[in-house]
Structure 1
Amino acid sequence: MKKIWTLCTILLSTITMASAQSTMSCCVKPASQNATEAFAMLATNEDFSGGHDAPLPYTYAGTGQAIEFKTPDGQTGKGFEIKSATTSNKYLFVIHEWWGLNDYIKQEAAKYAQDLPGVNIIALDLYDGQVATTPEEAGKYMQTVKTDRAQAIIKGAMQYAGANAKVASVGWCFGGGWSLQTALLAGPKAVGCVMYYGMPEKDVAKLKTLNTDVLGIFASQDKWISPEVAAQFQKDMAAAKKKVTIKSYDADHAFANPSNPKYNKAYGDDAHALSVAYLKKSFKLKS
């Protein structure tokens, strides 16, 4: 959700020089360990760090609680949960961007909890408890993210939700890419996926395993998660015989983030309403 298009510039330029067929972006597509590590190393680049303003101080004071759960790699995962007022096997996983699971993300989780009664909300922590307050910290923490560990956290959260859980996901940029990966990892448990300007999965064989359709929210002025990227994702999903709905706004990357200079309230509100309507349908909630 924070402004991170500078990273996109650096990342795509680097990968293009290395291989004309390799593409990465600020919204990491965790397709392999090497790709994830290449992305993390660029977090130390001064241009990348300098392109990020530190988030304004904010303290979330609403409902919810920190949780821990076992992960398949023998460790413990962390998250922030807002339980449904009624017993429910419906779960929405909310996935943070590069700052980590901070109070802004908890507020986003609370918004979805209010809009989706009957759904348990879990904001996942892919940074294992670390929260950045400066670009330097965020760059350092980004480097610690390994594909296998992030996947283990997501799988652990699914085990926490239970064998009969119905899971949907939503995330922004870094979290947008991981939202799609969450849907892939969820298998038959997946019922919905919202990705805000995140890099799509390009492996059609993997997309064929999706158990859900996808809502992709993009920005037409985004130079890296561009209209061409969105169009290719649409083609790949068609090849996989999976449904995707693409909504593109005449805005720039991170337009849905209120603390970003590129924020567009009208578009942000509309995108959120679209996401809520989609998730209500996914979870079969009353409108």
Structure 2
Amino acid sequence: MCDLENCDPNDVSRPSVSATDRRLFLAGALALPLATILANVELAEAQAAKGVSINQSTADGRTVSAYFAEADKKDAPVVILIHEWWGLNDNIKTMAEDIRAKGFHAIAIDLFNGSVATNRDEAKTQTKAVKASEANATIAAWVDWAKANGNGKVATLGWCFGGGWSLSAALNTKLDAAVIYYGRVTANADSLKKLNAPLLGHFGTLDKSINPEMVGAFQKNLAEAGKSDLMTTYWYTAGHAFANPTGGRYDEDDAALAWARTHTFLAAHLR
């Protein structure tokens, strides 16, 4: 479910923020761009502290946790966020807070049971340790929770490792929409026949693994399954993980455009 060779470590220079703006943001007196928050550890930690941890039971008898950012309206739709191979870190929690600010309940789920990687080796280890049956059960449990705790409409949103699981959720649960950021899209035509949720895909033409060949084959499989109308695809002249401000392939303009398109898509299908 993840491109193991093309996820960069978080080792690039970060967008700067002045001491005054930092102080005002931490005091709640200033709003900053999402990319700036994500790329500065202290700001991301502060933003990620706004939500709460909640638990849910799975069909296979496990207790799983998630980060919940609650919208102002109780009957808001729910967006389930699925993390990259780094795990449920402050970046993903901050994305959840931005989703909440747009009027959605945001649930950032955890497929790594609390493990968060800080380097590539740790990320590879925890990604390879994931059992598909358990991940599917975890996602299904949170979809059930989401349907019972909002207006009944639910979408998934995943990046890289989580992008592949966002597609899997669309095939194995009843969703109203699913967003895939450069995740593996290798489902065959037979499995795609059960797809009913609209999909939004963001992909980079410079991505060496989740590449135009893979996406093109997926689109052919969608056509064979009679589901082409369910997929909206956007291409960016960018590499893998171009939307992660702490990664080496971050593209600010493309990330902002993709995020705006994501919000438009979610609003269209969940309102």
TM-score by length of 1: 0.77
* TM-aligned CA deviation for residue 281 of structure 1: 0.2
Match of 1:279 in 2: 266
Cα gap change, 1:61 to 1:128, in 2 (>3 Å): same
Q: Stretches of 4+ moved more than 4 A in 1?
A: 48-51, 53-59
**What SS does the aligned partner of 1:209 have?**
coil
Trace 1:197-236 onto structure 2 (pairs within 5 A): 197-236=182-221
Q: Distance in 1 between matches of 2:180 and 2:7?
A: 26
Q: Distance in 2 between matches of 1:124 and 1:281?
A: 23
Match of 1:38 in 2: none
State the percentage of identical aligned residues. 37
Cα gap change, 1:270 to 1:60, in 2 (>3 Å): same
Q: Do 1:81 and 1:122's aligned partners in 2 also have CA atoms closer than 8 Å? A: yes
**Deviations 1:111-154, CA, capped at 9 Å, x for gaps:** 11112x1x211001000111122333223322321101111111
Match of 1:171 in 2: 158
Q: Distance in 2 between matches of 1:209 and 1:134?
A: 37
Match of 2:99 among 109, 112, 115: 112
Aligned residue pairs, count? 237
Letter in 1 for 2:2: C
Trace 1:1-287 onto structure 2 (pairs within 5 A): 26-27=2-3, 52-53=9-10, 57-58=41-42, 59-62=44-47, 63-88=50-75, 90-115=77-102, 117=103, 119-163=104-148, 165-187=152-174, 190-242=175-227, 243-284=230-271
Q: Distance in 2 between matches of 1:61 and 1:257?
A: 18
User: What runs of 5+ residues in structure 2 fail to find an aligned partner?
Assistant: 13-39
Cα root mean square deviation, aligned: 2.2
Match of 2:18 in 1: none
Q: Do 1:196 and 1:218's aligned partners in 2 also have CA atoms closer than 8 Å? A: yes
Q: Do 1:158 and 1:165's aligned partners in 2 also have CA atoms closer than 8 Å? A: no
Q: Do 1:54 and 1:135's aligned partners in 2 also have CA atoms closer than 8 Å? A: no
Q: Distance in 2 between matches of 1:52 and 1:83?
A: 30
Q: Do 1:170 and 1:176's aligned partners in 2 also have CA atoms closer than 8 Å? A: yes
* TM-aligned CA deviation for residue 49 of structure 1: 10
User: What runs of 5+ residues in structure 1 fail to find an aligned partner?
Assistant: 1-24, 28-42
Letter in 1 for 2:122: E
Letter in 1 for 2:112: Y
Q: Do 1:126 and 1:150's aligned partners in 2 also have CA atoms closer than 8 Å? A: yes
Decide which moves more: 196-205 or 212-221: 196-205
Q: Do 1:197 and 1:217's aligned partners in 2 also have CA atoms closer than 8 Å? A: yes
Letter in 2 for 1:212: A
